[in-house]
Amino acid sequence: MDRILLTHASGYSRWIVAGVLCCLACGCTSATTATTQQAVGGEVLLIPGIAGQESHLRGVRQGLREAGLSRDIDVFTWGSSSLWAIQNLMDLPANRKRAEEMAARLVAFRREHPNEPLTLVGFSGGGGLAILCAEILPDGIMLDRIILVAGAISQDYDLSKVLSHCKDGLINFYSDRDAIVGWGTAVFGTIDRKQVFSAGHSGFVDEAGRLRRQEKLVQIPWSPAWAQYGHYGGHIGYLSPSWARHILAAQIDPSLAALLPSK
């Protein structure tokens, strides 16, 4: 049962990026945070971008269902009005409190359902929120997997605490064609308040700037083959129902990969 749940830029560039971000934030409907209910076959918690609302992820949920994903799919709504979406990105103290709220929800779920699959999927700013949440989970509280989709988190972020709470690790989808988590976070900052191209643009990198190789971390760059699913490398391509069906679903539940049509 589904439930709603580069450090310098010209002033002109700032206005362009602000306009794009605001456009992405518009049109969202208000919703309330999902509550813990009985899960059948596990739970997937989707975390939307900085507008923090459910409506942007309706197509994603549709695609996951079409792929055959039978787990509960919830959306963790967060932030204030979509008109203040930029502030949702920039308010780290508020986001830490939101991460605590989400962590409490996950702890309650895990204690009630110790053996059910539990996966976090964070989109854009929601990816950063997923990281803040996972690293404050109590000892012994395990997720199956975290999936970051164009995550607005810094490239050099220390993932050690996060990975200690992921049985099957962390998957990072990134695209160097995605200006929102490239120039957007270079101007306005990531969730962890660094003005850099984010891990959703260039992947998590090591001290030498090379793509990080770390146990339990899998990084998946945008592929031109995804164009057939409506994803051309930009930020909103990840919201395509077809992309969710053919690419994302199998990362949430690997058993679904066998059900996908061959290319």
pLDDT in tens, 20-68: 444 444 333 333 333 334 445 799 999 999 988 888 899 999 999 999 9
Contact present, 192 and 250 (Cβ < 8 Å): no
| Residue-range domains of the chain with CATH | 11-25+41-251 (3.40.50.1820)
Q: Is residue 55 helix, strand or coil?
A: helix
Question: Which pTM value belongs to this model?
Answer: 0.86
Report the share of the chain in percent with pLDDT over 90.
76
Output the CA angle 158-111-65, nearest 5 degrees.
75
Positive or negative torsion for Cα 247, 253, 254, 257: negative
Residue 41: the pLDDT is: 79
Query: Among 65-69, 86-90, 171-175, 210-214, which is the least confidently predicted range?
Result: 86-90
Beta bridge partners of 40: none
Do residues 171 and 220 lie in contact, with contact meaning Cβ atoms separated by under 8 Å? yes
Closest among 218, 217, 35, 41 to 117, alpha carbons compared: 41
Q: What integer pLDDT is reported at residue 79 of this predicted model? A: 82
C-alpha span between 52 and 59 (Å, rounded): 15
